[in-house]
Amino acid sequence: MKLKLTLLFLFLIPIFTLPSLSITQGTDPDKVYKVAIIPFMIYSQENLDYLREGINDILTSRVTVQDRIVVIDRSIVERALYEERPTRLDETVAAKIGMRIGADYIVLGSFTKIRDYASLDACLLSVAEAKPPVTIHTRQKSTDELMVEISNFGLDIGYKILGSRAMDGQPDEPRRPFITHAFTVEKIKYGDVLKVYIEAEDPDEGMLRIATVVDQAGYGRYPINWVYLEPTDRKHFKGYLQWNTFSSKTSTLAEWTPITLTVCVFGKSGRRSNTFTFPITFESGVKRKHAPSHQVPSPFDEKGIRKLGTIDIELIDRTLRIR
């Protein structure tokens, strides 16, 4: 009972989560967006069915923005699910349900608890337009921590649909840092220098530092890399983080090694921005110069783009660990 009551208030607590940002923010200032939350799947040997209601309550409270974003009543969503009777619930089925009930966006996901660990997988889908989904995958040691992750994901949904300016203008919603643009290449040769371009703003409180996280398939997550901003960059900055991918811990890296690199900005009070997650593959045949399709886009194609700091993360070749 104590945990169930706690779930309803966890949306007040902001922490660092790692969703990817792909859906383009809304541009129509008069449009009211409709979001449907499909009941999350719960996988556990314990009876955690009550969490489904708690997750829905948290997301509803965080996603709703007065006169801009409404959450479709849960009974309407459940009725559409009953009528559709899907054998499996994937993105295609979710989009079909969204069209049936007139939703602009669909939220779906699953919660898994195995022994001492719990994990969350969730995504935001655009129903009307062909856009990549916004996803989150995280693993924590407690259910409470995952509920906080859900809370932050709900807040991110508003930013992704409306954009930073529209969200920051909402009453009772504290402003936070916001990454307006970010870019890096999708393929790189091991040992090359990677540049991660970022533009962000926080005209009120001011920004303090940039966090970079690297996840490597077969290895896991490396420690967070922090870059502290100069005083002149606290309100707005545009530049790049530089990463020399050669590592003193390995002379080589297996061909096709995939990683994900995630960037996020923190304000002075600890409030975090939205996040950008980039999938990157190491391939020996990649040319050192950008291919035409990978040229640096606007607004980073200007002259004089500054280096903001260095990513000091040393990769490990996972294949060497099992020989």
CB 136 within 8 A of CB 41: no
Task: Output DSSP code: residue 275.
Answer: E
In the chain, what are the domain boundaries? 2-168, 178-322
Q: Is the dihedral of CA 65, 69, 73, 74 positive or negative?
A: negative
Among residues 176, 95, 80, which one has the least CA distance to residue 132? 95
C-alpha span between 246 and 237 (Å, rounded): 27
Query: How far are the Cα atoms of 13, 162, 208, 218 from residue 147, in angstroms, in the given order?
Result: 10, 23, 26, 27
Percent of the chain with pLDDT over 90: 30
Residue 35 is encoded by which pair of tokens?
């979001």
- Is it the case that residue 275 has pLDDT exceeding 90? no
> What pLDDT was estimated at residue 60?
86
Percent of the chain with pLDDT over 70: 81
C-alpha span between 11 and 5 (Å, rounded): 12
- Is it the case that residue 6 has pLDDT exceeding 50? no
Lowest-pLDDT choice from 8-17, 41-50, 177-186:
8-17
- Reported as a single tens digit per residue, the pLDDT across 210-219 is 999 998 988 8
C-alpha span between 49 and 94 (Å, rounded): 21
More confident residue, 151 or 102: 102
- Is it the case that residue 14 has pLDDT exceeding 60? no
> What pLDDT was estimated at residue 48?
76
Pairing of β 236-244 and β 225-228: unpaired
Burial of 1 (0-12, 13-18, 19+ CB in 10 A): exposed
- Is it the case that residue 13 has pLDDT exceeding 80? no
Q: What is the mean pLDDT of residues 34-51?
A: 84
Model confidence pTM above 0.85: no
Confidence of residue 37 (pLDDT cuts 50, 70, 90): very high
Q: What is the 3-state secondary structure (H, E, C) of the chain?
A: CHHHHHHCCHHHCCCCCCCCCCCCCCCCCCCCEEEEECCCEEEECCCCCHHHHHHHHHHHHHHCECCCEEECCHHHHHHHHHHHCCCCCCHHHHHHHHHHHCCCEEEEEEEEEECCEEEEEEEEEECCCCCCCEEEEEEECCHHHHHHHHHHHHHHHHHHHHCHHHHHCCCCCCCCCEEEEEECCCEECCCCEEEEEEEEECCCCCEEEEEEEEEECCCEECCCEEEECCHHHCCEEEEEEEEECCECCECCCCCCEEEEEEEEEEECCCCEEEEEEEEEEECCCCCCCCCHHHCCCCCCCCCCCEEEEECCCCCCCHHHHHC
Maximum separation of any 2 CA atoms in the chain, in Å: 60
C-alpha span between 79 and 291 (Å, rounded): 49
- Is it the case that residue 293 has pLDDT exceeding 50? no
How many other CB atoms are found less than 10 A from the CB of residue 46? 9
Burial of 307 (0-12, 13-18, 19+ CB in 10 A): exposed
> What pLDDT was estimated at residue 263?
92
Confidence of residue 144 (pLDDT cuts 50, 70, 90): low
Most confident among 63-77, 120-134, 291-305 (mean pLDDT): 63-77
C-alpha span between 317 and 218 (Å, rounded): 9
Pick the CATH number of 2-168 from 3.40.50.10070, 2.60.120.1140, 3.60.21.10, 1.10.1200.10: 3.40.50.10070
CATH of domain 178-322: 2.60.40.10
Confidence of residue 294 (pLDDT cuts 50, 70, 90): low
Confidence of residue 93 (pLDDT cuts 50, 70, 90): confident
- Is it the case that residue 167 has pLDDT exceeding 60? no
- Reported as a single tens digit per residue, the pLDDT across 249-263 is 998 899 999 999 989
**pLDDT, averaged across the chain:** 80
